Structure 1
């Protein structure tokens, strides 16, 4: 049986650095605000889950991480396939392109996070 394609470890590490930087720049003020309301420290921002050729981007806004989108590894850091998480069906949909923020999707992890910030605003 052929081995399923996976995202190389060095790419996973690079993705994590991109996520950390995005959170630091774009969500730096929001963590302090949350800490004022909750006794448990909440780390607000994006997080990654890797499974096979997929990168799942979740975002913690209040209590727990919620799904935002899924990216499919195509062998290059600027050529990921994008699928938005649709809460109406509770599934990832790569065919859905009519959502706020779709214009930010450019094949990169950063573009996907920007799209997620618009599609699912932090409240």
Structure 2
């Protein structure tokens, strides 16, 4: 079975979810807002500080907007690790983009 593609329409939907989360949940918290970056089937969530993108997690599109595969960014190794589940906020990961952002806020508070 072919891997699902991350189409421009799905990217727009994901960007809208992130923007809504930033407005509804993170208003007034400097440095806490999420930004998106896309490569292939991956959505990278991070925080932007000036010109610096600070990675938080990587989501892999699995064919459903509510079921993305999650990998936390590990600063100790400088890579995304889909096998790491022992971090603050892991309980928030539920397959949705919002769950990944909630987990990221606990794993890497600003």
TM over 0.5: yes
Tell me how far apart the structure 2 counterparts of residues 51 and 25 of structure 1 sit (CA, whole Å). Answer: 27
Q: Which runs of 5+ in 1 are unaligned?
A: 32-42
Higher strand share goes to which structure? 2
Partner of 1:49: 37
Partner of 2:70: 82
Q: Which runs of 4+ in 1 moved over 6 A?
A: none
Tell me how far apart the structure 2 counterparts of residues 44 and 76 of structure 1 sit (CA, whole Å). Answer: 26
Tell me how far apart the structure 2 counterparts of residues 76 and 5 of structure 1 sit (CA, whole Å). Answer: 9
Contact 1:6 1:51 in 2 (8 A): no
RMSD: 1.8
Contact 2:5 2:63 in 1 (8 A): no
Contact 1:5 1:52 in 2 (8 A): no
Deviation, 1:108, is 0.5
Partner of 1:36: none
Q: Which runs of 5+ in 2 are unaligned?
A: none
Q: Which has the higher contact order (CA 8 A, sep 6+)?
A: 2
Count how many residue pairs are aligned between Structure 1 and Structure 2. Answer: 108
Contact 2:3 2:62 in 1 (8 A): no
Q: Secondary structure at the match of 1:30?
A: coil
